[in-house]
């Protein structure tokens, strides 16, 4: 199963190829995507992305996770989150969201089992 292409990104809106939903923030993995609802894990810009935000993506058997920190990189990613991924043998890229989407799409196009979480505003 391949990772779906992120078809478009603009401030506050993301579209995933093959999905009719428009996301504000989203999670993607080989074979699927869904809204990333920060309220599920109590995530805020600081301290930022928690391991709990990534558990679902990790369980999909990804080799690489791309984290989009927002258009202005306001979303933090603490070292504990990066360590969590590395402990599971997963490569991690933490980038500004436009760069993160480009990197994610490039990896997906190469057939890498890539997942990601992307914040599309600040």
pLDDT tens digits along 2-21: 999 999 999 999 999 999 99
- Whether the CB-CB separation of 110 and 62 falls below 8 Å is answered with no
Residue 101 has, within 13 A of its CA and on its CB side, a CA count of 21
Mean pLDDT, the chain, rounded, equals 97
Fold type of domain 6-118: Hypothetical Protein Mth938; Chain: A, (3.40.1230)
Per-residue model confidence (pLDDT) at position 40: 97
Residues pairing with 30 in the sheet:
none
Domain ranges of the chain: 6-118
pTM of this structure: 0.97
């Amino acid at each position: 199963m391949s990772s779906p292409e992120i078809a478009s990104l603009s401030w506050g809106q993301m579209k995933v190829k093959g999905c009719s939903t428009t996301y504000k923030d989203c999670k993607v993995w080989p074979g699927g995507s869904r809204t990333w609802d920060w309220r599920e894990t109590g995530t805020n810009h600081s301290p930022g992305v928690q391991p709990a935000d990534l558990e679902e993506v990790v369980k999909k058997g990804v080799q690489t996770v791309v984290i989009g920190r927002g258009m202005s990189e306001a979303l933090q990613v603490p070292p504990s989150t990066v360590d969590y991924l590395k402990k599971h043998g997963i490569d991690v890229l933490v980038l500004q969201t436009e760069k993160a989407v480009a990197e994610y799409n490039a990896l997906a196009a190469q057939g890498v089992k890539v997942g990601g979480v992307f914040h599309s505003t600040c």
